[in-house]
Amino acid sequence: MPNQLNSGELVANISSELADNNAGLISAYDVRHNMEDIAVSINKIVASGDTNVAFPFYNIVRISKELSPNPTSAVATSGDLVVESGIFFPNGPANATQRQTEPYLGEARINHNNLDNLTVGDPHTQYYKLTGDRALEGNMSTDTFWINKSGVQDVGFKFEQLTPDATQQEIYVSGQMRWVEDNSTMRTGKGVAKAWINFDANYANNTPSVRAYHNIEKIERLAEGKLRLTFTSGTFVSNNYVAMGTANATTAAGSMEDFSVNTVGLVVRAGNDGPDDINNPRTITYVIKNENGDYVDSKLCDFVAYGYGEAERSGVHPTVVGT
C-alpha cells in the first residue's frame, strides 16, 4: 500500500533505500514502492504549500484548453481550476494581502451601486453633474441635437455650424424667449433693427463724422443736405425694408434750442434686389430739407432700418381693407 508522504520524507526514503548499489542491496521492491509513494504524494506536496517557497512553479501552468460542461461534477471532462477559498494577487495595485473571494463578473454584469467611493468627494469629474454643483471644464458639443426640458425633437435651442472650421455658428430657437429680470418676452428677432447709424453731417471739410453704427458700410456726402448710406452686404434680402431718419437741421448741437423744423427724406433705394448684393450693394439716400424747402446740413442725424434678412419670413399676412 503506497504511503502519502511529504517531500522531505520521500527524499529521506530514497536516500536510505536507494543507496549506491555497489553491494547489490537495492531490490525491485525498493524501487517500486518509492515510485508508488512519489505518485501518491504528488497531490499532497502540491497542496501542502511546499510550492510556495521550497518548490515554486517557474513556468506557465496550463490547466485546460476546453471548458468543462459542469466544473463541479465528480467526473470532469477537462482540467478546470475550481477555487473555493480565494485568490491572492501579490502584484496587484490594491492590498496584496487581501484575499479575493468573488469573481469578476465582466463589465456588463457589474452593479454600479456596489462600487466603492461613489459619493466620496467628486469621483466623476468627466461628467456634468445634474445638480449643477460643477461647471463645465471644457467645450461641449451637441452635434445637431436640440436642448430642451422635455426631450421632444426640434424643440428648444440648438447650434448650427456655418463654416468648416466651426468658428462661426448660429443658435436656433424654436419658441419664445423670456427674461427673468423683468418678465419680458421676445418671440421673433424681426423687431430688432437690422441697421442704424448716428452721424454728424456738418463736420470739417464737408466729410460726415460717424458716432455709432451697425451694418452700415459707407456714408457719402453728395451735396449740402444730401447723403447716401450703403448697407453691409447681406443685411437685407431685398430693398423692401422699413427706414426712418431724423435730424436737427442746424450746424450746432449744444442746447435744446439747436433744432430747426425739417423733414428727412429717405428716397432712392438702389442695389441688387436679391440675396446677392456683394457686387451691387444696397444704398439709400438721406436728404434733409428745412421748413423753407432748402437742403441743409445737420449736426445731429439718426437713421434706423428694419427688414427681412436672408430666409426670414413673417406670420399671417395683415388684412387689407379698401375704401
Q: What is the pLDDT of residues 133-147, one digit of tens each?
A: 777 777 888 888 999
Identify the pLDDT of residue 241: 95
Identify the pLDDT of residue 312: 87
In order of 72, 76, 80, 172, the CA distances from 69 in angstroms are: 9, 8, 10, 60
Per-residue pLDDT reduced to its tens digit, 227-246: 999 999 989 989 999 999 99
What is the grid cell recorded at 194?
437690422
Q: Which residue, among 229, 248, 209, has the nearest Cα to 304 in the 3D structure?
A: 229
Q: Are 24 and 37 spatial neighbours (Cβ–Cβ below 8 Å)?
A: no
Helix, strand or coil for residue 122?
coil
Burial of 204: CB neighbours in 10 Å, binned 0-12, 13-18, 19+: exposed
**Tally of CB atoms within 10 A around 156:** 17
pTM above 0.75, yes or no: no
Low-confidence ranges of the chain (pLDDT < 70): 21-23, 48-52, 54-55, 64-79, 93-94, 273-276
Task: Read off the amino acid at residue 209.
Answer: S
Ordered by start, the domain boundaries in the chain are 1-114, 195-306
How many residues make up the chain in this entry?
323
Identify the pLDDT of residue 106: 76
Measured distance CA(264)–CA(224) in Å, rounded? 13
Burial of 50: CB neighbours in 10 Å, binned 0-12, 13-18, 19+: middle
Identify the pLDDT of residue 191: 87
Q: Are 68 and 80 spatial neighbours (Cβ–Cβ below 8 Å)?
A: yes
Query: What DSSP letter does each residue of 4-59 carry, written as one string?
Result: ---HHHHHHHHHHHS--GGG----HHHHHHHHHHHHHHHHHHHHTTTTTTTS---S
Measured distance CA(27)–CA(43) in Å, rounded? 27
